[in-house]
């Protein structure tokens, strides 16, 4: 015969597990300079800021594109398959993707097509003059469509969609045409994997206490 308190033990176990999970989520084990990746991704990122104790701000190692504040529990330490090898492969991959890409100068808004690296500068074929000019990475910005990232049902893989700047914000709740809920986790991501727009509705309402 089963003991009368078997259900109570199950409830207690659930409470303990929930408590431990909450503590684990709240605890930030990373520090500025650490190399991490999203649990749902593979790209290495560097921690640039600790936010509100439990959140971190990161930038992609190869492109320096910043990712907004996310819970530290969304990340794991990045592990290289061999010293420097995987990082170099990531950089080489992105450098290849830069070929024939359009860039815009930060200062004057001039456009140019990437052609090659010249030391620590990028060589562009400028549209307004038809001549080559070299720029530091911080002096130019890649011309890309506006994209945003969503996570369905609050967990799992992050998906990127094309969009219009200002139509969504991080934290917005969306409902797809097939009745799946999704939350916007990042905007302005400049993702190259985004190929289509999100088909659905942005839910607007009043938050209840």
Q: Per the structure, how many domains does the chain have?
A: 3
Give domain status of residue 174, yes or no. Answer: yes
Same domain membership, residue 152 and residue 120: no
pLDDT at 20: 46
Query: Is 7 a member of any domain?
Result: no
Residues 50, 89 share a domain = yes
User: Is 109 within the bounds of a domain?
Assistant: yes
Structural domain boundaries, residue 112? 102-142
Pull the structure tokens for residue 85: 């090898």
Per-residue pLDDT tens, the chain, 209 aa: give them.
444 444 444 545 545 455 444 444 456 688 888 888 888 878 888 898 888 778 888 888 766 777 778 888 889 988 765 445 555 555 555 545 444 588 888 888 899 988 888 888 888 888 888 889 999 988 888 888 889 999 988 777 888 999 988 899 988 999 988 888 999 999 988 787 888 999 999 988 776 76
Q: What's the farthest any 2 CA atoms get from each other in the chain? A: 88
Tell me: do 39 and 83 sit in the same domain: yes
- Does residue 6 lie within any of the structural domains? no
In a domain, 4, yes or no: no
* Burial class of residue 9 (count of CB atoms within 10 Å of its CB; 0-12, 13-18, 19+): exposed
Taking the model in full, what pTM does it have? 0.43
Tell me, yes or no, whether 26 lies in a domain.
no
Q: Which two tokens stand for residue 149?
A: 């990232």
pLDDT of residue 148: 92
Q: In what order do the strands lie in the sheet with 75-77?
A: 66-71, 55-60, 45-51, 35-38, 75-77
Co-location of 49 and 86 in the same domain: yes
> Collapsing DSSP states into helix, strand and coil, what is residue 201?
strand
Which CATH number fits the domain that encloses residue 54? 2.30.30
């Amino acid at each position: 015969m089963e003991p009368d308190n078997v259900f109570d033990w199950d409830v207690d176990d659930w409470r303990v597990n929930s408590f431990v999970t909450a503590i684990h989520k709240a605890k930030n084990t990373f520090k500025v300079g650490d190399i991490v990746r999203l649990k749902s991704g593979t790209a290495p990122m560097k921690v640039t800021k600790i936010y509100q104790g439990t959140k971190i701000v990161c930038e992609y190692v190869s492109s320096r594109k910043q990712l907004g504040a996310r819970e530290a529990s969304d990340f794991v330490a990045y592990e290289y398959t061999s010293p420097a090898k995987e990082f170099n492969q990531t950089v080489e991959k992105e450098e290849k993707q830069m070929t024939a890409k359009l860039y815009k100068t930060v200062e004057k808004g001039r456009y140019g097509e990437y052609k090659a690296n010249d030391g620590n500068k990028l060589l562009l074929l400028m549209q307004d003059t038809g001549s080559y000019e070299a720029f530091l990475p911080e002096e130019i910005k890649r011309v890309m469509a506006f994209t945003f990232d969503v996570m369905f049902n609050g967990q799992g893989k992050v998906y990127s969609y094309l969009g219009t700047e200002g139509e969504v914000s991080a934290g917005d709740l969306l409902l797809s045409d097939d009745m799946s809920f999704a939350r916007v986790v990042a905007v302005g991501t400049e993702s190259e994997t985004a190929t289509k727009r999100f088909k659905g509705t942005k839910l607007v309402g009043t938050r209840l206490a």
